[in-house]
């Protein structure tokens, strides 16, 4: 993966993803026992650019770069004015002269595509309106830790078929994990993403299903995943979405239709009482906090794979 962009969960192969999981596992164990960190990013500088505010992405990427021996440069929209004060391609070409990689959390996915076109340094998607591949990488790593393997296991996403659902579908397809996405009518994943996942799944054997029935979707699920109903930038639709998503809350009633050993996932932040209840999010079978921790380890592995070595 040396020097490559990571804009989509489909940008890596199954073998590459599994190698990242093994490396993330090693980094996680080293951190747990307070072993001295490996420093494959020694002397490397990474710009971490935010059009959108963040907790998990900000902390985990900054820590990841530091712990691997590199130097993070954190940039906010107020400082950069990406696409407003200065053209995207100009920002990309400036950063390219100074840093070894660009991590960007943006609104429009096209912004990342343009940055990658104009910068020779690798560009990593830390979230866009189309995908959240770093989140999916941490999520499948979390399930890989739990199950020992992810091929043939069943993940169900209940909620808005937006960026997180897109990346989960694609990475599940890559890894051979069966993925069902249950949304209200009108909130299904983009057809282009569905078709791409189905095409990838022909090789891996994954089953990719989109449905409007949350009860049926969780029937055989080993993991049930949800996300906020109104993502950042869609707050004006929040009230309408609360009505449209009635019946799609991940709660004890819905989970009664799932296997007894089901686990629950959420990428956070959570709107408690909307897409998920306190009872479920705080339950022993909730993996939300493990997912959040694993953002650090998975992103360290990704950075090391893309920037490590000479």
Active-site position among 135, 249, 291, 299: 135
Active-site position among 178, 266, 295, 297: 295
Tokens of 6: 């990571």
Active-site position among 267, 291, 297, 299: 267
- Based on the residue annotation, tell me whether 32 is a catalytic residue of this protein: no
Q: Is 237:230 a contact under the CB 8 Å cutoff? A: yes
Active-site position among 11, 56, 105, 249: 105
- Based on the residue annotation, tell me whether 135 is a catalytic residue of this protein: yes
Torsion angle, alpha carbons of 98, 103, 109, 110, to 10: 10
Burial status of residue 134 (CB atoms within 10 A of its CB: 0-12, 13-18, 19 or more): buried
In total, the chain counts a number of residues equal to 310
List of residues 6+ apart from 64 with CB closer than 8 A? 296, 299, 300, 303
Active-site position among 154, 178, 227, 249: 227
- Based on the residue annotation, tell me whether 90 is a catalytic residue of this protein: no
List of residues 6+ apart from 145 with CB closer than 8 A? 21, 25, 290, 294
- Based on the residue annotation, tell me whether 134 is a catalytic residue of this protein: no
Whole-number Å distance between alpha carbons of 242 and 152: 33
Active-site position among 109, 132, 153, 241: 132
- Based on the residue annotation, tell me whether 295 is a catalytic residue of this protein: yes
- Rounded to 5°, angle at Cα 208 from 21 and 153: 45
Residues tagged active-site: 105, 132, 135, 227, 267, 295
């Amino acid at each position: 993966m040396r020097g490559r962009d990571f804009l989509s969960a489909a940008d890596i192969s199954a073998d590459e993803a599994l190698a990242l999981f093994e490396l993330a596992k090693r980094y996680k164990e080293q951190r747990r026992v307070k072993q001295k960190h490996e420093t494959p990013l020694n002397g490397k500088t990474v710009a971490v650019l935010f059009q959108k505010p963040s907790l998990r992405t900000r902390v985990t990427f900054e820590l990841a770069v530091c712990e691997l021996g590199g130097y993070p440069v954190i940039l906010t929209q107020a400082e950069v004015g990406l696409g407003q004060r200065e053209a995207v391609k100009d920002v990309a070409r400036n950063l390219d002269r100074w840093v070894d990689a660009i991590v960007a959390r943006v609104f429009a996915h096209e912004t990342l595509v343009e940055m990658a076109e104009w910068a020779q340094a690798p560009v990593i998607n830390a979230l866009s309106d189309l995908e959240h591949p770093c989140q999916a990488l941490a999520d499948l790593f979390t399930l890989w830790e739990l199950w020992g393997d992810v091929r043939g296991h069943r993940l169900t996403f209940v909620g808005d078929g937006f960026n997180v659902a897109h990346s989960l579908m694609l990475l599940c397809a890559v890894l051979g994990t069966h993925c069902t996405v249950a949304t209200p009518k009108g909130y299904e994943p983009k057809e282009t993403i569905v078709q791409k996942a189905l095409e990838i799944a022909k090789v891996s054997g994954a089953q990719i299903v989109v449905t409007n029935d949350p009860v049926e979707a969780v029937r055989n699920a080993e993991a049930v995943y949800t996300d906020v109903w109104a993502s950042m930038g869609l707050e004006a639709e929040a009230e309408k979405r609360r009505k449209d998503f009635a019946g799609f809350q991940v709660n004890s009633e819905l989970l009664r239709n799932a296997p007894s050993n089901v686990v629950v996932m959420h990428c956070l932040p959570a709107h408690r009482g909307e897409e998920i209840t306190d009872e479920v999010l705080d339950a022993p079978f909730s993996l939300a906090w493990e997912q959040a921790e694993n953002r650090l380890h998975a992103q360290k592995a990704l950075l090391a794979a893309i920037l490590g070595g000479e």
